[in-house]
Structure 1
């Protein structure tokens, strides 16, 4: 069958399996803060951050930051970017659909689009069979349930895969509007700016092997500057609306206060703080170092090298961004989704036994992630 049909079948089959998982869990779900007992699929799929996106779509953002009893900024809508709830709101207005249905539908459709673009991205570096199995890995990944819930990940991945594809094809000017929309969908623009900067430097160093065509260098620099501006734009908008220069960072820090209290954001400190909280100061620091070294070793492995320099630069840039600003907790597994090009590397080995093991292992981990992170069990401290 045509490549696009094969991709749609693969992604659709994976979504059927995940739907079964979610329906089984929904049937056994007790009453909770978001739903009654045994909710409908769309209600079960629009819990957690889906409620915040719902608030943004219906009410927008607060002009005054909510404060806790001890005077700190509490959790609020400024932590959530506007593009996904805006798209869902448009769908609601055009179709008359309720929030939950419209939100899940947008996520699923964007997920199918992301799968198609991911295949094209993999085909830039991999053969047809490997690229298609890369889409299989992408579709059944342990956190792939986020492709069919009321989260912004599907839409962000569609834009991110498109941006990476444009870069591999050296279409820098077309990349600029994609960066703008992507940067207001999920916080990723600063990571992408670092990636673009490294890409430009590498091309300048390797100009004999990969010279810039006329007008490529100025447009590549334009894309990089755009990504930097977009990366700082949302905190600036939050400042302008609320009057607090730290409105966005204070809002983000509110989510980690249950673990380590209210602290200032110090770059590269959150992982040491987090793993110190999880496993103790001595072993926490050791574990951070081991994670960094392990990821660096993975980037140098043969399957990951098959992705080419540019995709490896993105993997390194986003991983460095996570290390700099994010606090490790259960939602960190979802925040690893933009590392999706690794699915192409996982697909490189051709052994059938290996590939069956990858699919079955991914589905088992997906079920475990849903049990731990998505299902609500009383006071739940493992948000997805």
Structure 2
């Protein structure tokens, strides 16, 4: 038995890395597909998808409908309004790259849904390759491979095969992080705009670039900081900032309303807050949500504020002191801190917030560092179990206000 195991391990090690990652990824997608089939069998007429939905119904569910609408009808030149006169939910909340890329691929495959599935699926595989490259020099090839395993089998792995823009955003994000760490800045002039018009989040990258620049400046005596790198970092930070606000400007120019994009985003938040919201205030979403959720759970609203404070302090301590996280290096820790701060500033936490944590996937490297087989096996089992819970409640049983992927 030991001889067979050793032989298999040697053969596995001899495979080319892209093939190894492909086998891991295909196994993960097979598991996710099986879980989706099982979830479809649990769906009833009370579900958003009805009784006996097919896998294509899940692919086209929830936000995929908005991307499909963008691909077919574009963006409204006049903002839709509710009966009360507030801006209603509309397509301006969804960036164009995924919608139109899926339309292009779908023209070859016969439908937008097929294009969206293939785009998410293929981008997910290349994101796995990019994640391995990003982590291998920091934690070793074995731990980097296990990071990919946890990423591909993770709780939100359904995003790899539905009509969402997540994987198409993660691929350039991982490449961009790797380029920054390796100080190969020139390619970022193409990668940053691609990220900016695929999903929100490039402002977090702008903050990360600023912190990266400060870090390199502080270490300039230990590691050379050429003038050209300074120019690149400043220019790229400005580009990322400009791209981060560009969609707001475009929405304002097309609709004639400078606040069109923020009003559109707040249209979703308005459904959660009694009395609605008047405007966007940074960091207010988490305060409002903490009070909302703790009241829903029968707890004092003030306890929610304490929970947010404890959460922020806890995340900060993990990024600063956790040995596994420190192994990832300062740049990935700075990215994680930048993205967490961005989430705190702009989002209203609810069930889809778990999906918004996917850009923190490089932190799987910290989970993969321990070499214990029991630990890694346990994490993998936990990932698949959490994936089942997510798919079941967000797709098969999704009919409540908190069941939104």
Aligned length: 383
**Superposed structure 1 runs of 4+ greater than 4 Å apart:** 31-36
Whichever of the two has the greater Rg, that structure is 2
Give how far 1:371 is off: 1.9
C-alpha separation between the residues in 1 aligned to 2:38 and 2:403?
19
Partner of 2:4: none
Match of 1:194 among 203, 207, 214: 207
For residue 32 of structure 1, report the CA deviation from its aligned partner: 7.2
Among candidates 342, 347, 350, match of residue 371 of structure 2: 350
What pairs with 1:92-107 in structure 2 (closer than 5 Å)? 92-93=106-107, 95-107=108-120
Q: Which residue of 2 aligns with 1:9?
A: 23
- Identify the residue that residue 362 of structure 2 maps to in structure 1: 341
**Aligned residue for 1:247?**
260
Match of 1:272 in 2: 287
Counterparts of 1:1-384 in structure 2, within 5 Å, are 1-31=15-45, 35=49, 37-93=51-107, 95-260=108-273, 261-279=276-294, 280-300=300-320, 301-384=322-405
SS in 2 for 1:161: helix
Q: Residue 59 and residue 32 in structure 1: after superposition, are their counterparts in 2 closer, same or farther (change >3 A)?
A: farther
Distance in 1 (alpha carbons) for counterparts of 2:229 and 2:392: 48
Change (3 A) 1:56 1:24: same
SS in 2 for 1:187: coil
Distance in 2 between residues matched to 1:133 and 1:33, nearest whole Å: 35
Which consecutive residues of structure 2, in runs of 5 or more, have no partner in the other structure?
1-14, 295-299
8 Å contact from structure 2 (residues 48, 398) kept in 1: no
Q: Render the CA deviation track for 1:281-321: whole Å, top value 9, x for unaligned.
A: 21110000011011011102100000000010000000000
C-alpha distance in 2 between matches for 1:347 and 1:147: 21
Question: Any idea what SS the aligned residue of 2:280 has?
Answer: coil
How far did 1:92 drift? 1.9
Q: Do 2:132 and 2:145's aligned partners in 1 also have CA atoms closer than 8 Å?
A: yes
Higher relative contact order (CA 8 A, sep 6+): 2
Q: Which runs of 5+ in 1 are unaligned?
A: none
Q: Give the Cα–Cα distance (whole angstroms) in 1 for the partners of residues 237 and 401 of structure 2.
A: 40
Given the superposition, is the C-alpha separation of residues 229 and 112 from structure 1 closer, same or farther in structure 2, using an over 3 Å criterion? same
Displacement of 1:29 in angstroms is 2.5
Asked whether the 8 Å contact 1:200–1:220 carries over to 2, the reply is: yes
Measured in 1, the distance between the counterparts of 2:45 and 2:66 equals 19
Assess, with a 3 A threshold, how the Cα gap between structure 1 residues 364 and 268 changes in structure 2: closer, same or farther: same
CA distance in structure 2 between the partners assigned to 1:275 and 1:75 by the alignment: 23
Q: Distance in 2 between matches of 1:52 and 1:32?
A: 22
Q: Deviation at 1:219?
A: 1.2
Retained in 2: the 8 A contact 1:196–1:223?
yes
Question: C-alpha displacement at 1:124, in angstroms?
Answer: 2.7
* Alpha-carbon shift at residue 214 of structure 1 (Å): 4.7
Q: Is the 8 A contact 1:134 1:346 kept in 2?
A: yes
How far does the alpha carbon of each residue in 1:161-211 deviate from its partner, in whole angstroms, 9 at most, with x for none? 111111111111111110001110000111000000010011101111222
Q: Residues 217 and 102 (structure 1 numbering): CA distance in 2 closer, same or farther, change over 3 Å?
A: same
**RMSD, matched Cα:** 1.4
CA 1:32 to 1:149, structure 2 compared with 1: closer, same or farther past 3 Å? farther
Provide Cα deviations, 1:53-94, integer angstroms capped at 9, x if missing partner.
Answer: 00001110001111011010111000000000110111122x
Does the 8 A contact of 2:120 with 2:160 survive in 1? yes
